[in-house]
């Protein structure tokens, strides 16, 4: 991830490329969608989103494999990827982005607070999954996740090399790890 990118810039990139966007959120609980719709004209590219906070909804609403959820739990890079693909498909969008993780204060399924996975699926191809270790309280984890999701979307849409900036994601307050999946 190369840094931060405001929602207005992400939406402009989508508009210029003729692509639409949908979001699947768990730990961010609608904050990412809210950040997007705060931008005037967002409706030109934003199809909508689903907050699938409960684990079973990730399967029933987003199409995440129930066996995967049972084996690994909801905070997992592959779950994030399936959430992004599922929302893209269900909303008829070109780009899907997902957020899943542990905001705290307690661990979940062996994952410590601040563990986050963000995924972006473009036109049916899982483009990237981003792992974050975000310090701070619930609010800080959720806010940093929104910033990181927008930055990852910007990187994917501009073709920026996600591995070029290892370490701390500038402006998000998170330690990161990004890998390509296909």
Q: How confident is the model at residue 168 (pLDDT cuts 50, 70, 90)?
A: very low
Q: What is the mean pLDDT of residues 148-166?
A: 78
Q: Is the pLDDT of residue 164 over 50?
A: no
27: nearest Cα among 114, 100, 106, 88: 100
Lowest mean pLDDT, pick from 1-10, 63-72, 85-94, 105-114: 1-10
* Residue labelled with tokens 């599922």: 86
Q: Is the pLDDT of residue 125 over 60?
A: yes
Output phi, psi for 118, to 5 deg: -125, 135
Residues 97 and 21: their CA atoms lie apart, in Å, by 8
Q: What are the extents of the domains in the chain?
A: 7-179
Residue 177: exposed, middle, or buried by beta-carbon count in 10 A (0-12, 13-18, 19+)? middle
Q: Which two tokens stand for residue 113?
A: 């607070």
- Sheet order of strands, 167-169 included: 46-51, 21-25, 95-101, 115-122, 125-133, 174-179, 167-169
Q: Is the pLDDT of residue 176 over 50?
A: yes
- Predicted pLDDT of residue 126: 86
Tell me the pLDDT tens digit for each residue of 55-70: 999 999 999 999 999 9
Q: Is the pLDDT of residue 172 over 50?
A: no
- Predicted pLDDT of residue 59: 98
Over the chain, what is the mean pLDDT?
90
Contact by Cβ (8 Å): 25, 69? no
At the second CATH level, the architecture of 7-179 is Alpha-Beta Complex (3.90)
Residues 9 and 29: their CA atoms lie apart, in Å, by 22
- Report how far apart, in Å, the C-alpha atoms of 35 and of each of 32, 82, 157 are: 5, 23, 18
Tell me the pLDDT tens digit for each residue of 4-57: 799 999 999 999 999 999 999 999 999 999 999 999 999 999 999 999 999 999
Kindly report the pTM of this predicted structure: 0.89
């Amino acid at each position: 991830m190369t840094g931060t990118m405001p929602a207005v810039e992400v939406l402009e990139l989508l508009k210029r490329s003729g692509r639409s966007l949908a979001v699947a959120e768990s730990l961010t609980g609608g904050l990412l969608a809210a950040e997007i719709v705060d931008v005037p004209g967002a409706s030109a590219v934003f199809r909508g989103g689903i907050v699938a906070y409960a684990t079973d909804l990730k399967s029933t609403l987003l199409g995440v494999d129930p066996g995967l959820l049972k084996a690994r739990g909801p905070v997992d890079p592959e779950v994030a990827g399936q959430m992004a693909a599922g929302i893209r498909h269900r909303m008829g969008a070109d780009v899907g982005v997902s957020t899943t993780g542990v905001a705290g204060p307690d661990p979940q399924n062996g994952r410590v607070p601040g563990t986050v996975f963000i995924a972006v699926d473009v036109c049916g191809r899982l483009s990237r999954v981003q792992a974050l270790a975000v310090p701070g309280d619930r609010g800080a984890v959720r806010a940093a996740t929104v910033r990181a999701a927008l930055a990852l979307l910007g990187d994917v849409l501009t073709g920026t090399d996600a591995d070029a900036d290892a370490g701390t994601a500038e402006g998000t307050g998170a330690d990161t790890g990004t890998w390509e999946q296909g």
